[in-house]
């Protein structure tokens, strides 16, 4: 086995948020409240104000756009791996 094939066999499985099971999508939207989408800015105005005041540029992205740009670890059966507490996004925000 080459190092690359070993990596492919042992690399963490991930899925985009839009590819997750509907129950898993609801779970990540509940769990990751600091995603700073239009919806969470309305839901948590104090947090949004704090982040803007400390240099974070707030974009006008929606939860759907965040899910389309964010990967989550999944188990072998394709469902969300609840043991993981982080996600990886490719969204870069406003320039």
Q: Write the pLDDT tens digit of every residue in 10-24.
A: 567 889 999 999 999
Length of the chain (residues): 95
| Global pTM value | 0.75
Domain ranges of the chain: 3-83
What is the structure's pLDDT at 67? Answer: 93
- Three-state secondary structure of 52-93: HHCCCCCCCCCHHHHHHHEEEEECCCCCECCCCCCCEECCCC
Mean pLDDT of 35-55: 86
What is the structure's pLDDT at 4? Answer: 55
């Amino acid at each position: 086995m080459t190092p690359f094939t070993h990596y492919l066999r042992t690399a963490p499985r991930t899925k985009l948020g839009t590819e997750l099971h509907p129950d898993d999508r609801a779970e990540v939207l509940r769990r990751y409240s600091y995603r700073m989408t239009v919806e969470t800015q309305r839901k948590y105005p104090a947090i949004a104000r704090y982040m803007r005041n400390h240099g974070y540029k707030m974009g006008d992205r929606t939860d759907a756009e965040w899910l389309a740009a964010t990967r989550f670890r999944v188990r072998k059966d394709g469902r969300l791996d609840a043991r993981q507490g982080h996600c990886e996004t490719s969204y870069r925000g406003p320039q």
